[in-house]
Amino acid sequence: MSAYDVIVAGGGSAGLAAALSASRHGARTLLIERHAQLGGAGSNALVHTFCGLFHPNVSQGPRWLNPGIPIEIGQRLMKMSGQTEPDLMGRVYVLRHEPAALAQLALDLCQQEPLLTVQTNASLAAVQRQDDAWQLTINDETVTARAVVDTTGDAAIARCLGSDLWRTASGDRLYRPAYVFAIRGVTGTLDASTRLQVAALLVRAVKAGTLAKAALGASLRSSPQAGEVFISMDLEAGGADWDPLDPAKVTALEQEGKDTTQAIARFLRDQHPAFATSEDPILPVHAGIRESARWLGDHILTAADILSSRRFGDEVALAGWPLEMRETARGPKFRYFDQPEPAGIPARCLRNAAVPRLFFAGRCLSADHEALASVRVMGTCLATGQAAGRMAAKA
């Protein structure tokens, strides 16, 4: 039976940062990821913009918010894509990235750490505490660790351990899932007028019954790679019946996303000159799930904590992204901080005293539904992951 100091479950932004941080603090660490590549939603769901990396006060230009791994990864991504500055979008800075580049960077960074082992195509199936150690079943193998970090996005470990350790919002409030795809071979620049033309074409096609309703909310963003455009569609996914933990519902969502993608790609090739010679769409490995289950920690971060820029004595990371509520497929509703100052995220949101030597970070940390609308973004996930990895190594 293999034994580690720390096992990190889930190789998204939070898990990557947690594994790097734990191993750099001297812990023999195993990072497991159920898909073939690291990066989580930022690679497998084709999410292509890092939010939450920069200070919310944009009046002084872009300033990195959290030290350490978030800056390291942000700077490496900028170097890889040739960007010298992040993009100012209204009142926030964002950093565009190429999903495949993130997956490659994640692997490269992990391979440089002598104490870190990565297993992809490795799914966490069961967890139990045995005396002083954690026993995890990964695929068919049992592995032990002194400390564990849950960065599965879905609080998979809490769901194994007990119903009093996690919660989820009701189906009608859950942030809507989305399907993101890429199209290459697009000519010209994706300026505001092209976006408007495409939006108008899509509206007409939906009204005429040529395209499914999901195409209505499709939004276009250019990639750092020339000629590539990302298209994101928020999906209603069954309204109040949506359940991201139900495989049948997720399968139906994937199918709707794939069908609508193919139809939009064909339609744009026929109807808009910029897409006339575009290639077949690049599909994500899976649809994008914005919200599922979260841990209940020793503190539940609230919207009031975030909006009032509350600071904590035991804070381990900073949140700088506004509340980006996506309860309907009609696009986001933003609620900005009362003053442009970051909010603290306390260590108590990354642990539960009833479950010693177990930590959680990223999208499944301990926050209420509204606060999650801020802290779920990838820049903040890097920061909470980094903190959880350090806490696990020290435990």
CB of 326 to ligand FAD, least distance (A): 8
Q: Hey, what amino acid is at 395?
A: A
Question: Applying CB under 6 A, does 178 fall inside the site for ligand FAD?
Answer: yes
CB of 148 to ligand FAD, least distance (A): 12
Q: Which region, judged by CB under 6 A, interacts with ligand FAD, from 22-30, 150-158, 193-201, 271-279?
A: 150-158
CB of 324 to ligand FAD, least distance (A): 8
CB of 102 to ligand FAD, least distance (A): 10
Name the CA radius of gyration of the chain, rounded. 20
Euclidean distance between CA atoms 41 and 101, whole angstroms: 13
First to last CA, the chain: 22
Question: Applying CB under 6 A, does 168 fall inside the site for ligand FAD?
Answer: no
**Nearest to ligand FAD of 53, 274 (CB atom):** 53
**Nearest to ligand FAD of 136, 347 (CB atom):** 136
CB of 269 to ligand FAD, least distance (A): 24
Give the total of residues touching ligand FAD (CB under 6 A): 40
User: What is the torsion angle, in degrees rounded to the nearest 10, for the CA atoms of residue 107, residue 33, residue 24 and residue 29?
Assistant: -130
Question: Applying CB under 6 A, does 242 fall inside the site for ligand FAD?
Answer: no
Question: Applying CB under 6 A, does 231 fall inside the site for ligand FAD?
Answer: no
- Footprint on residues 269-298 left by ligand FAD (CB under 6 A): 288-290
SS3 21: helix
Euclidean distance between CA atoms 221 and 239, whole angstroms: 26
The CA angle 295-346-350, to the nearest 5 degrees, is 30
Euclidean distance between CA atoms 384 and 351, whole angstroms: 11
Question: Applying CB under 6 A, does 35 fall inside the site for ligand FAD?
Answer: yes
According to DSSP, residue 280 is labeled: P
- Phi and psi at 74, nearest 5°, equal -60, -45
Question: Applying CB under 6 A, does 96 fall inside the site for ligand FAD?
Answer: no
Write out 150-197 in H/E/C secondary structure. ECCCCCHHHHHHCHHHEEECCCCCCCCCEEEEEECCCCCCCCHHHHHH
Member of 45, 306, 316, 355 binding ligand FAD (CB under 6 A): 45
- Footprint on residues 4-23 left by ligand FAD (CB under 6 A): 9-15
Question: Applying CB under 6 A, does 161 fall inside the site for ligand FAD?
Answer: no
Question: Applying CB under 6 A, does 378 fall inside the site for ligand FAD?
Answer: yes
CB-based burial of residue 361 (10 Å sphere; 0-12 exposed, 13-18 middle, 19+ buried)?
A: buried
**Nearest to ligand FAD of 269, 325 (CB atom):** 325
CB of 157 to ligand FAD, least distance (A): 8
- Phi and psi at 357, nearest 5°, equal 60, 30
- Residues of the shown chain interacting with ligand FAD in the complex, contacts defined by CB under 6 A: 9-15, 32-35, 40-42, 45, 47, 49-52, 123-124, 151-154, 156, 178, 180, 232, 288-290, 362-363, 376-379, 381
